[in-house]
Amino acid sequence: MSKNTGKLPKLLLLLAASVAAAACSPIEPWVKPYERDRLADPIMALDADPVSSAYIQHVYEAREGARGAEGAAGGGCGCN
């Protein structure tokens, strides 16, 4: 038991070193720009019609107790 416990800090150190090493290397985009044609299709837009979605969102907020974190905040797929 004590032997196994002694290995734990070394394992954690190794894990931390691996994470640190991974953080230093650039992350390879796993979906390449030329593979984003479907995401760039207008039917995939997260907020295709802002004037309409803002209106319907305010109808929801007037009729319900909840508010926020709904709809298309954020957005963008870098595919244009």
Region of 4-12, 16-24, 27-35 interacting with other proteins (CB under 8 A): 27-35
Whole-number Å distance between alpha carbons of 33 and 41? 14
Nearer to other proteins, 11 or 66 (CB): 66
Rounded (5°) CA angle 69-40-33: 105
User: What does 50-69 look like in DSSP terms, one character per residue?
Assistant: HHHHHHHHHHHHHHSS--SS
Of the residues 12, 13, 19, 49, which one makes contact with other proteins according to CB under 8 A? 49
Contacts to other proteins by CB under 8 A: 27-31, 33, 35-36, 38-39, 41-44, 46-47, 49-80
